[in-house]
Amino acid sequence: MSEEFDNPVYYDDDADASHIDSKTVAVLGYGSQGHAHALNLHESGVDVVVGLREDSSSRSAAEAEGLRVETPADAASEADLVSVLVPDTVQPAVYEEIAPELDAGDTLQFAHGFNIHYGQIEPSEDVNVTMVAPKSPGHLVRRNYENDEGTPGLLAVYQDATGDAHDVGLAYAQAIGCTRAGVVETTFREETETDLFGEQAVLCGGVTSLVKHGYETLVDAGYSPEMAYFECLNELKLIVDLMYEGGLGEMWDSVSDTAEYGGLTRGDVVVDDHAREQMEQVLEGVQDGTFAREWISENQAGRPSYKQLRHAEKNHDIEEVGEELRGLFAWGEESDEEQPAETPADD
């Protein structure tokens, strides 16, 4: 265990496979994370059963990989550890289906804390409740494992009924390859709230809004849509890759002096103290449950606002321009011909 960080970090030597190698693990769902967890566990020697609906389109894919497939309830019935890897929005219904099949001492595991943290799922007190969350899309979790590499992950224990829930979770993390890279200990609250905030304020919400506003500013000023797309969206990947590989310092060291000076002197003009205040409001909405209640209600109502917003986003001018320009790149042609390895976790 590393003590260099604020939160403990665990590696292969910290995990004890005996806490899982004699157990049957049910993986519910065979989407992005589900297929990676199931296959990695299976190849680590763990007895795995995949839980899918009778009409699931993923059944044939799982069976083709040599995995046993049962209904979620049947899979949970024979399992000692149930890994719930279906989307957040369907987890409560799936839990109601499998709850009668959970025995005292079983482990109920998640890859995201939303439904536990916000009380949509309330497990009985006699089962462990843990989280193992790889910090990567499922297809990379799988690819890294196959290449004898690791994917960093998170580990949290919400409820320890047996006294060894932490060890069970860590053994699971080892079996899917996360301890090869390092597993950071956290809590359901911390993981859920930071994850939602990051998605809304920066990764999915903040960045896309910044890109669109930049694009619109240039186009409205008379510049061509093509130039606006290149400067405000296409080149974003180059900057993000530099930050990913070496932090902000690596990025500043890699761009021109002109770009660095312009960014250092003008960046805070655009994303200013007002933006920070708005971010704090977004965080407050995550912390007090406002966003969770809104999202739950939105789903119960059939997602009317979600559908409207999604339609508007897909029909923004930047999408039409981008579709044409991406065809100029070799990778753009390849992406049109090939489907990505990752599939939505829709089962």
- Euclidean distance between CA atoms 23 and 106, whole angstroms: 10
pLDDT at 3: 61
pLDDT at 334: 56
Q: Reading across the β-sheet that carries 81-84, which strands appear in turn?
A: 9-10, 183-185, 153-159, 128-134, 107-110, 81-84, 24-28, 47-51, 68-70
- Euclidean distance between CA atoms 53 and 311, whole angstroms: 29
pLDDT at 6: 82
pLDDT at 287: 98
**What is the SS3 assignment for 121?**
coil
pLDDT at 149: 96
Q: Could you tell me the two tokens for 1?
A: 């265990």
112 catalytic residue (yes or no): yes
**What is the SS3 assignment for 83?**
strand
- Decide the pairing of beta strands 128-134 and 153-159: antiparallel
* 245 Rama sector, left if φ>0, alpha if ψ -120 to 50, beta otherwise: alpha
* Catalytic option among 19, 112, 311, 316: 112
pLDDT at 335: 53
pLDDT at 329: 84
Per-residue pLDDT of the chain (347 residues; tens, 9 = 90+): 766 678 899 999 999 999 999 999 999 999 999 999 999 999 999 999 999 999 999 999 999 999 999 999 999 999 999 999 999 999 999 999 999 999 999 999 999 999 999 999 999 999 999 999 999 999 999 999 999 999 999 999 999 999 999 999 999 999 999 999 999 999 999 999 999 999 999 999 999 999 999 999 999 999 999 999 999 999 999 999 999 999 999 999 999 999 999 999 999 999 999 999 999 999 999 999 999 999 999 999 999 999 999 999 999 999 999 999 988 886 665 554 444 333 334 44
pLDDT at 338: 42
pLDDT at 344: 36
Instruction: Output 285-293 pairs: Cβ under 8 A, ≥24 positions apart.
Output: 286/193, 286/196, 286/197, 286/200, 287/193, 289/118, 291/196, 291/200, 292/114, 292/118
Rg, the chain, Cα only: 22
Q: Could you tell me the two tokens for 209?
A: 């809004």
